[in-house]
Amino acid sequence: MTQSFRWLQNEIADRMLQKLDIVKLDPRDVLLIPDFPGAHAKFLRKRFARAAFYSAAAEGLSGISLWYLRAVRQWHSIFRGGSSVSLDVFRRTGRIALPDNSVDLIFSNLLLQDLQDPTLFIKECWRVLREGGLLTFSYLGPDTGKELLEAKVSSRLGVQPLPSPWDMHDMGDALLGEQFSDPVMDMEYLNLEYDSDALFLADVKALNLMSPDFSSAQRLIDLPKKLTLELVYGHAWVLGKHLAKAQNHVAYIDPKQIQRKTSTDPA
């Protein structure tokens, strides 16, 4: 996701917050991955006024935007705690640079479609979330850019699918497979219409739907005038972290969680 598509991140963040508005949660620590300037950030700080925010800055931010984001987060962290987390480190290592059981809410906007294996991200979210924590996310589904596959110039555009082909059913199954509870999935289509071929190509490139080697200086005809975005939303809870993964519908309890009950009644 590049700077030219920041409006989309802002729009989807607002829609995520509307869905989050009905959730009862009072987090002490919140991870924003990726994080970027926008009206949603102020809303989150107001909604969770006592929370510390951990910020994984979005890629493609300009110098001023990145400075502003870090300044706001640093000012907030003076009073509430929190710090920066590297999104680049996660992409290279598959690990979020936070301790186990360190946050109560993960807010992830339009990241998963760019991951080769979203399972690694889900595992890390489970690791860093505390008992009772919530993962809420959005991403682009596999129908995104379906017009490109039908276009006569698809081969010359170097059309490529998103790294992650997961639809909302794949994601729901993966969340359950990684021990998340009560996953809720939702999907909608956003249709973009274009009068300019140059703008169409810029957006397709920004969404990583065509080869980065394609030169927009090429003269192409029969380009689509519409681009479909499949938007997938979801959230799921971390419950029973002390329980081992269920086998044959039986949950196994860690012996360390069993405590002896003592009586204070007189003999």
Task: Tell me the per-residue pLDDT of 155-179, one tens digit each, with 9 for 90 and over.
Answer: 777 888 899 989 999 999 999 999 9
Q: What is the 3-state secondary structure (H, E, C) of 187-211?
A: EEEEEEECCCHHHHHHHHHHCCCEC
pTM of the prediction?
0.83
Task: Give the span between the Cα atoms of 6 and 61, in whole angstroms.
Answer: 9
Q: Kindly state the tokens that stand for 264.
A: 């204070």
CA distances from 162 to 50, 79, 111, 166, 250 (A): 37, 40, 11, 9, 37
What is the predicted pLDDT for the residue at 244?
54
What is the predicted pLDDT for the residue at 104?
97
At residue 169's C-alpha, the angle toward residues 123 and 149, to 5°, is 105
At residue 128's C-alpha, the angle toward residues 126 and 130, to 5°, is 80
What is the predicted pLDDT for the residue at 115?
93
At residue 133's C-alpha, the angle toward residues 130 and 136, to 5°, is 135
Successive 10-residue mean pLDDT values, the chain, 267 residues: 72 92 90 81 82 80 56 53 78 94 96 94 97 97 90 77 92 96 96 91 87 66 89 96 56 44 46
What is the predicted pLDDT for the residue at 254?
47
What is the predicted pLDDT for the residue at 69?
52
Q: Where are the domains of the chain?
A: 3-257
Residue pointed to by tokens 């994080």: 35
Q: Classify domain 3-257 by CATH number.
A: 3.40.50.150
Residue pointed to by tokens 């956003």: 190
What is the predicted pLDDT for the residue at 73?
58
